[in-house]
Chain A
Amino acid sequence: MLTLLPTLAAASFLVFLFIHLIPGDPAAILLGDAATPEAAAALSKELGLDEPLLKQYALWLGNVAQGDLGTSIFFQQPVLSVIGDGAETSILLAVMTMFWIIAFGVPVGVISAIRRGSWIDQISSGGAMLFASVPTFWLGLYLIHIFSVGLGWFPSSGFPSISDDGGLANLRYLLLPSLTLAAPNAALIIRLVRASMLDVSREDYVRTARAKGLHPARVAVRHVFRNALIAVAAAFGFTFAALVSEAVVTETVFSLPGIGRLVVQSILRRDYPVIQGVVLVVVVLYMAVNLLVDLAYASLDPRVSLN
């Protein structure tokens, strides 16, 4: 677990370097078009841009630790509050997506494994592979085309905060985006659940359970499924990364005011402080998720030791 800290340090150093890798004076880049020589000089002094690189990094890290991720060029607001504005949409989208992934992916994977080789298995395994091959934005565009434009069942874009008028009913804005985002990831989970169920079912203790005459359903649930979940839990770090990547695309397709669209727009607007801030937040979150997954893994499987 201690290897995590150097990795985090190196990753954050890369994120810090990002501004320096863009051609031009970092102070002018951070200020954007509004940069006057005086303002650039002042910011340069504030951030210690004339100091050695490592000292600058230490200064930057100190600011980050206090929640200061710089100022957005476009919004003229602290980066952290700009990211905070997108957090509600992105978190709700992630929660709904996870719901679909677990609600569809796990049962279908289990049935597929139990009925291995049957037509149900062929369809669900083939379907899972097909969905894993569909570009997210293409699926999103067609869902909008069919269900929003054609049938008019769901709104096609945007997301008013649930604290606004409408309350929880506003979640309907996230239905199509979360299904879009869930499709390729549920496909992965189906394949993973199925593969790890089949793996576990070859274990000696499963044969023992069958041999002592337990009902097949009980063996499938208590012995196979529970142990197969360990491998599935381990993959959730990977799912998180996939969700972040695809959320960038999905939020753009559905014009959702989340962090994913923020990063794309910031790239197009050359709002570098926001890009840097979002990347840092995502990397820290991703590493935290991986750490939690490792901890969960160790507590689920006593054979795994954290050392």
Chain B
Amino acid sequence: MTLLGSIGSAVFGRWLATTGLIWLALVAISAVAAPLIAPFDPLEINPIERLSEPAPPYLFGTDHFGRDTFSRAVYGARMASIIGCGSVLVALFAGGLCGMLSAYFPQLGHVLMRVVDVLMAFPALLLALVLMTLLERSVINTVIVIGIVYAATTARILYGMTLKLKGEVFVDAAICTGAGHSSVLLRHIFPNLISPLLVQASFVFAFSQLQAAALDFLGLGLPPEVPSWGNMLAEERIYITRAPWLLIFPGALIILTVFSLNLVGDAIRDAIDPRFRGDIAGV
């Protein structure tokens, strides 16, 4: 079976993972088509309707500025996707390249992997906090900071895997037939790293959601006016008693998204590594 085929059957073979994938598709659709789906402008303030309960036309109620929570949640999906995809890109590109090259060129690896060690000496959120202190609150900075934090982990995983692959016979064979470094790396080693990279992508995406929400909550993530699920929770937390829906909806959206990502990531990992087949919520 092809790689894609086995991953597909692993994900669709489990109803939980399939449900997760459907949820992620919904998030992606909301992200792309946010202006079409959201009935109101997510920033439109309407003091008369403030803190109204969930009922049409406000499906998820309104917040303390009278903004429509449903519309904000839909735009929040857009932010979640931007943060997730951006962090995955930064982490996988920087970390993946660093790990691969370090394992393939040991002398370069001596230097690069020490840099990775130093980055990993800082607990994730603390590193993100310190970096955010030095930067302005913005979407791009949040993406870069979370990406850097997970680039180190990605580099370490890819380093180990490339090192293993480098010792394989097919790599020796390629070198013996006169393949250059770039050919060995791109045509012989990299294809074997695609599936671990996919697994890593799903976990980095999941972690980025939790980290971004934590940064927003601490007031050090996205600018406060950006409608993100983390900002919605941060802004409305004092209304937890008066208007519980303001915290339930964004919270549930984060949990569902992270849970789905973990389910799909697990399913892909199991497809690659038969040792795990049948494990962890494999129903």
Residues of A within 8 A of B (CB): 3, 6-8, 10-11, 14, 18, 21-22, 117, 122, 125-126, 129-130, 132-138, 141-142, 145, 149, 191, 194-195, 198-199, 240-242, 244-246, 248-249, 252, 263-264, 267-268, 275, 279, 282-283, 286-287
Say whether A263 contacts B126, CB under 8 Å: yes
B224 touches A (CB below 8 Å): no
B181 touches A (CB below 8 Å): no
Majority secondary structure of chain A interface residues (helix, strand, loop or mixed)? helix
Q: Which residue of B lies closest to A117 (CB)?
A: B278
A148 to chain B, nearest CB (A): 11
Checking B123, B240, B281 against A125 with a beta-carbon cut-off of 8 angstroms, the contacting residue is: B281
Say whether A248 contacts B255, CB under 8 Å: no
Q: Taking each of B132, B233, B259, which has the highest tally of chain A beta carbons within 10 Å of its own beta carbon? A: B259
- B219 contacts which chain A residues (CB < 8 A)? 268
Question: A275–B131 Cα gap in the complex (Å)?
Answer: 11
Assuming the A-B contacts A133-B206, A198-B279, are A248 and B130 also in contact, with contact meaning beta carbons closer than 8 angstroms in the complex? no
Say whether A145 contacts B114, CB under 8 Å: no
B212 to chain A, nearest CB (A): 10
Say whether A138 contacts B247, CB under 8 Å: yes
Checking A117, A241, A275 against B130 with a beta-carbon cut-off of 8 angstroms, the contacting residue is: A275
Say whether B220 contacts A11, CB under 8 Å: no
A22 to chain B, nearest CB (A): 6
- B48 contacts which chain A residues (CB < 8 A)? none
* 27 A-B residue pairings within 8 Å (CB atoms): A3-B114, A3-B117, A6-B114, A7-B117, A14-B118, A18-B130, A125-B279, A125-B281, A126-B16, A129-B262, A133-B206, A133-B210, A135-B210, A135-B251, A136-B214, A137-B233, A138-B213, A138-B233, A138-B251, A195-B279, A242-B124, A245-B214, A248-B129, A249-B125, A249-B217, A263-B126, A275-B130
- B118 contacts which chain A residues (CB < 8 A)? 7, 10-11, 14
- B206 contacts which chain A residues (CB < 8 A)? 133
Question: A141–B280 Cα gap in the complex (Å)?
Answer: 28
Say whether A10 contacts B114, CB under 8 Å: yes
Checking B124, B218, B220, B280 against A129 with a beta-carbon cut-off of 8 angstroms, the contacting residue is: B280
- 0/1 interface trace, chain B 101-122, chain A, CB 8 Å (1 if under): 0000000000000110110011
Q: Which residue of B lies closest to A267 (CB)?
A: B133
Total count of chain B residues near the partner, CB < 8 A: 46
B176 touches A (CB below 8 Å): no
Say whether A133 contacts B258, CB under 8 Å: yes
Checking B121, B214, B241 against A8 with a beta-carbon cut-off of 8 angstroms, the contacting residue is: B121
Assuming the A-B contacts A129-B262, A248-B218, are A241 and B210 also in contact, with contact meaning beta carbons closer than 8 angstroms in the complex? no
Beyond the given A126-B281, A129-B263, A283-B122, could you list 16 further A-B residue pairs with CB under 8 A, ordered by the A residue number? A3-B114, A14-B118, A129-B281, A135-B217, A137-B233, A138-B233, A138-B254, A138-B255, A198-B279, A241-B124, A244-B123, A248-B218, A249-B217, A264-B220, A267-B132, A267-B133
B237 touches A (CB below 8 Å): yes
A235 to chain B, nearest CB (A): 14
Question: A130–B263 Cα gap in the complex (Å)?
Answer: 10
Question: A130–B180 Cα gap in the complex (Å)?
Answer: 46
Say whether B247 contacts A245, CB under 8 Å: no
Q: Which residue of A lies closest to B230 (CB)?
A: A135
Question: A162–B50 Cα gap in the complex (Å)?
Answer: 43
- B36 contacts which chain A residues (CB < 8 A)? none
- 0/1 interface trace, chain B 246-283, chain A, CB 8 Å (1 if under): 01000100110011001100100000000110111101
Question: A136–B262 Cα gap in the complex (Å)?
Answer: 17
- 0/1 interface trace, chain B 154-177, chain A, CB 8 Å (1 if under): 000000000000000000000000
Say whether B125 contacts A286, CB under 8 Å: no
Question: A245–B213 Cα gap in the complex (Å)?
Answer: 13
Question: A268–B217 Cα gap in the complex (Å)?
Answer: 13
Say whether A245 contacts B123, CB under 8 Å: yes
Checking A134, A142, A249 against B218 with a beta-carbon cut-off of 8 angstroms, the contacting residue is: A249
